[in-house]
Structure 1
Amino acid sequence: MIPAEGTPLRDGDPTGCGDVLGATVAASLIAGAGLEAALRLGTRMGARNVSHRGASGLRDHLLGRLSAV
């Protein structure tokens, strides 16, 4: 188990949160990140996905969030 801080969330749309988590972890590992770093980033991006309604425009929403990380 890897301990991680929770991400405060408001009500939102969980559409694609697991997909975002998995894709972020996979992309991070391919880019050379360690497992713990990849999982931490994946959970942050999956949680942030909740603030976006639906799947349309999701890529730009997450890229904007990633640049702030």
Structure 2
Amino acid sequence: MATRSATVPTMGKWMAIGLAFSSGGCVNISAPDKPIEINLNINVTQEVVYRLDNDAKNLIQQQPGIF
């Protein structure tokens, strides 16, 4: 069963709004003046390491067309 990790921050936000209204405060929600900018620098490196058993290596050398 999949869990929803996004519900925890959402619940906190609603609890804060409910607390503001219950204490007689006013909540003002407005859009930001500038667009939100997200910069992601991602570097993915993969290294493949293989080792052949000595018998397998000899078999491949003796019969190169086996694969």
Bucket of the pairwise TM-score, normalised by the shorter protein: under 0.3
Task: Please give the TM-score of this superposition, normalised by the length of structure 1.
Answer: 0.27
Higher relative contact order (CA 8 A, sep 6+): 1
Task: Please give the TM-score of this superposition, normalised by the length of structure 2.
Answer: 0.27
Question: Higher helix proportion, which one?
Answer: 1
